């Protein structure tokens, strides 16, 4: 490896990293939590009353409800979900969404959810149900690097960040290549803190390199795929891409069909499980059920196979004939080429290997967030002005303005995201029943906490704010299990404490993370007070160039002798 090339890529690594680092911190912290989106939503949802669960129509008798709902509700006819297992929420048998007019297809935060029941006279009663958007909000923060909505424009921002992220990965790898073996097996813990942080940054970076390559490339594809398809349609597919994806299932013209003549749902499920015994169906998704291309996706899980996304995979069934039309997305029964595609998705969404892989992804996600945080710290440390030892009464140098601002931005943005996410999770219980639109409040709570943290970091300076914000991160995160505990001890508060493993897992994880943040706050406090004063991370560093450096040299010298000598 030519040393000249290494120098070029070192510059690439530095600048792509510093531009993308904070956005990637948010994407990874929120992404790690998104792995456990479903248990988190369960934690945030009050348990359904036992009687409402008892009222739900059994699957064997659901046919009339499905058929009449499809016939009378146009929104349900477009897309209707029939939940099979009702061991926990949602307790409604049927569910459909109504999106806001003109909403982006990825923007589910604005959608309203409906369900239907049959009256004694057989008429359909549709009514709106509340769904917690907490998991979706954190997922959106993950998908568009902390921005509030997942639309075309924010996806382009995310795509650019993903491209910078990929450049940072490749360049970081090239920089490290000449000394790969030496550096990978070295964690030099000692007085040279910068060396230790750099070693740790390298170990985490190399150790999770394949994970990060997968994430960078898939994220870039998720951002740009619409545009790539448009260009490829003209260039490669001669404008026939739409027809290719539509398939050869006849024209979309035709008279509406009568959903009463469909095969009953339990029979549809039976057809699929007969074909794939290890597949466990969870939900039927009726798509355009009254049209000529009516289809049912039988979603479910197969723990022994790769799955396309968090919902699992599906078999495609014609609801009028009951025939299984396609197993192209059925876990374990895909063709080789389709398995390649699904494995790409599975590698991003951690939808393979069950719970252990989910925990590995959670850890890799948090480590990734730490990787970007430490990258910013190293950028700052490389630009630190050190006091000259040989000058006897050497004044403590004022740190560069850009270094001080970057330090403040790093702690403000990163810890602000942590505080914002923890606080908005806690808000799910405290605000429930007290505000009209809890889902809107989730967003408000997150961004108020986030921007307050960023403002505080610039106001107080990076050193002091790092301690304050780590304490805030610990407090808000510990508030998650404490809220549950309080809810269990004081039922009159109107909150709830769920005891399913998933919901309890949220509490235990938050407890551990909160204690970790508290530990970090302690060592940060020590560093800020007792560490060398010629650092942006010292409370004793001269905050402003003119007054301290010029008017109080005596104090400076004293500090220097005490802390940095």
Partner 1 sequence: MGSAERPIRRDWISKTLAGALLGFTLALGCSGIFARLVTSLPPPIEAQLAMWMVTPIWLGVLAGSYAFASGRRAWLWLGAANAVVFGVFAAVRAIF
- Asked if 9 is part of the footprint of partner 1 (rule: CB under 8 A), the reply reads yes
Distance CA 163, CA 150 (A): 18
244 vs 508, which CB is nearer to partner 1? 244
d(CA 373, CA 447): 20
CA distance 464 to 537: 8
Inter-residue contact 18 to 407 (CB < 8 Å) = no
Among the residue ranges 67-75, 212-220, 428-436, 523-531, the one whose residues contact partner 1 (CB under 8 A)? 212-220
Residue 11 touching partner 1 (CB under 8 A) = yes
Among 41, 163, 315, 418, binds partner 1 (CB under 8 A): 163
DSSP assignment letter at 560 = I
Nearer to partner 1, 5 or 485 (CB): 5
- Tokens encoding 551: 């008017």
- Point out which span in 99-107, 133-141, 196-204, 215-223 binds partner 1 (CB under 8 A): 215-223
Site string for partner 1, 339-358 (x = CB under 8 A): -xx--x--------------
181 binds partner 1 (CB under 8 A): no
Phi, psi (rounded to 5 degrees) for 128: -75, 145
Nearer to partner 1, 336 or 489 (CB): 336
**Applying CB under 8 A, which part among 53-61, 66-74, 337-345, 520-528 lies near partner 1?**
337-345
Among 49, 177, 180, 244, binds partner 1 (CB under 8 A): 244
Supply the minimum distance, in Å, between the C-beta of residue 310 and partner 1: 19
Residue with token string 């490829």: 232
Q: Which stretch binds partner 1 (CB under 8 A): 7-15, 147-155, 301-309, 517-525?
A: 7-15
Smallest distance from partner 1 to CB 328, Å: 7
| Residue 231 sits in the site that holds partner 1 (CB under 8 A) | yes
Size of the site for partner 1 (CB under 8 A): 38
DSSP 287-327: ESTTSTT-EEEEEEE-TTS--SBTTBEEEEE-TTT--EEE-
Check binding of 230 to partner 1 (CB under 8 A): no
Residues 315-334 that bind partner 1 (CB under 8 A): 328
Tell me: does residue 188 bind partner 1 (CB under 8 A): no
Asked if 239 is part of the footprint of partner 1 (rule: CB under 8 A), the reply reads no
Contacts of 319 (CB under 8 A, 6+ apart): 259, 262, 263, 268, 286, 289, 294, 295, 296
Determine, following the binding rule CB under 8 A, whether residue 241 of this chain makes contact with partner 1: yes
Nearer Cβ to partner 1 (243/485): 243
Least CB distance to partner 1 at residue 425 (A): 33
Q: According to the binding rule CB under 8 A, does residue 157 interact with partner 1?
A: no
Binding partner 1 (rule: CB under 8 A), the pick from 25, 43, 114, 166 is 166
For residue 4, state whether it binds partner 1 (rule: CB under 8 A).
yes
Neighbours of 228 (CB within 10 A): 10
CA gap 537, 461 in Å, rounded: 9
- Of residues 67-126, those binding partner 1 (CB under 8 A): none
Q: Partners of 116 in the beta sheet?
A: 126
Distance, first Cα to last Cα, the chain: 40
Does 49 engage in binding with partner 1 (CB under 8 A)?
no
Nearest to 473 by CA among 430, 406, 413: 413
- The pair of structure tokens assigned to 563 is 């802390």
Burial (Cβ within 10 Å: 0-12, 13-18, ≥19) of residue 114: buried
Closest CA to 71 of 320, 291, 283, 319: 291
Using CB under 8 A as the binding rule, whether residue 549 contacts partner 1 is answered as no
- Which residues lie across from 96 on neighbouring strands? 114
Rule CB under 8 A: say whether 236 interacts with partner 1.
yes
548: helix, strand or coil: helix
CB closer to partner 1 out of 236 and 436? 236
Q: Decide whether 236 or 489 has the Cβ nearer to partner 1.
A: 236
Closer to partner 1 by CB, 49 or 244: give it: 244
Tell me if residue 497 falls in helix, strand or coil.
Answer: coil
Cis check: omega of the bond before 526, within 30 degrees of 0: no
Segment near partner 1 (CB under 8 A); pick from 9-17, 121-129, 289-297, 361-369: 9-17
Token output for 174: 């090239």
Question: Applying CB under 8 A, which of residues 45, 73, 171, 538 lies at the interface with partner 1?
Answer: 171
Q: Helix, strand, coil % (nearest 5) of the chain? A: 60, 10, 30
Which residue(s) pair with 300 in the sheet? 281, 313
Beta strands per DSSP E along 119-270: 124-129
Q: Which residues bind partner 1 (CB under 8 A)?
A: 2-5, 7-9, 11-12, 163, 166-167, 170-171, 216-217, 220-221, 224-225, 228-229, 231-232, 235-237, 241, 244-245, 247, 328, 335, 337-338, 340-341, 344
């Amino acid at each position: 490896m030519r040393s000249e090339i290494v120098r070029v890529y070192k510059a690439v690594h530095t600048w792509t990293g510093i531009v993308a680092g904070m956005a990637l911190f948010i994407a990874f912290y929120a992404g790690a939590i998104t792995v456990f989106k479903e248990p988190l939503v369960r934690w945030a949802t009050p348990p359904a009353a036992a009687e409402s669960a008892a009222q739900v129509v059994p699957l064997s008798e659901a046919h009339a409800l499905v058929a009449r709902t499809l016939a009378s509700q146009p929104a349900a006819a477009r897309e209707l979900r029939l939940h099979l297992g009702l061991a926990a929420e949602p307790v409604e048998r049927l569910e459909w969404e109504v999106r806001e007019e003109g909403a982006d297809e990825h923007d589910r935060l604005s959608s309203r959810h409906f369900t239907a029941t049959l009256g004694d006279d057989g008429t359909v009663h549709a009514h709106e149900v509340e769904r917690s958007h907490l998991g979706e909000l954190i997922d959106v923060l993950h998908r568009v690097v902390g921005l509030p909505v997942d639309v075309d424009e924010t996806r382009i921002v995310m795509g650019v960040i993903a491209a910078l992220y990929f450049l940072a990965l490749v360049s970081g790898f090239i920089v490290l290549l000449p000394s790969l073996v030496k550096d990978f097996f070295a964690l030099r813990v000692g007085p040279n803190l910068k060396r230790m942080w750099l070693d740790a940054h390298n170990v985490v970076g190399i150790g999770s390199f394949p994970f990060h390559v997968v994430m960078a490339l898939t994220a870039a594809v998720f951002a740009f795929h619409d545009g790539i398809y448009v260009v490829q349609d003209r260039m490669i597919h001669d404008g026939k891409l739409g027809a290719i994806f539509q398939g050869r299932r006849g024209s979309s013209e035709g008279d509406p069909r009568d959903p009463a003549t469909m095969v009953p749902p339990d029979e549809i499920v039976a057809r699929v499980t007969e074909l794939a015994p290890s597949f466990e169906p969870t939900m039927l998704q009726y798509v355009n059920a009254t049209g000529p291309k009516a289809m049912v996706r039988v979603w479910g899980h197969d723990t022994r196979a790769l799955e396309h996304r968090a919902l699992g995979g599906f078999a495609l069934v014609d609801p009028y004939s009951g025939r299984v039309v396609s197993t192209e997305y059925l876990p374990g029964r895909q063709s080789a080429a389709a398995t390649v595609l699904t494995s790409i998705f599975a590698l991003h969404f951690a939808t393979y290997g069950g719970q252990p892989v989910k925990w590995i992804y959670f850890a890799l996600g948090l480590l990734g967030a730490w990787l970007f945080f430490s990258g910013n710290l190293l950028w700052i440390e490389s630009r630190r002005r050190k006091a000259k030892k040989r000058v006897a009464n050497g004044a403590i140098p004022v740190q560069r303005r850009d270094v001080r601002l970057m330090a403040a931005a790093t702690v403000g943005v990163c810890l602000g995201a942590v505080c914002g996410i923890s606080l908005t999770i806690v808000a799910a219980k405290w605000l429930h029943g007290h505000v009209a639109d809890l889902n809107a409040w989730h967003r408000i709570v997150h961004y108020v906490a986030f921007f307050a943290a960023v403002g505080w970091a610039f106001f107080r300076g990076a050193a002091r704010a790092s301690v304050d914000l780590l304490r805030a991160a610990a407090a808000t995160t510990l508030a998650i299990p404490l809220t549950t505990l309080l809810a269990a001890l004081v039922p009159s508060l109107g909150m709830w404490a769920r005891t399913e493993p998933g919901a309890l897992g949220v509490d235990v994880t938050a407890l551990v993370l909160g204690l970790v943040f508290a530990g970090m706050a302690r060592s940060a406090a020590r560093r800020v007070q007792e560490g060398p004063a010629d650092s942006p991370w010292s409370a004793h560093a001269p905050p402003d160039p003119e007054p301290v450096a010029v008017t109080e040299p005596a104090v400076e010298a004293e500090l220097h002798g005490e802390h940095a000598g």
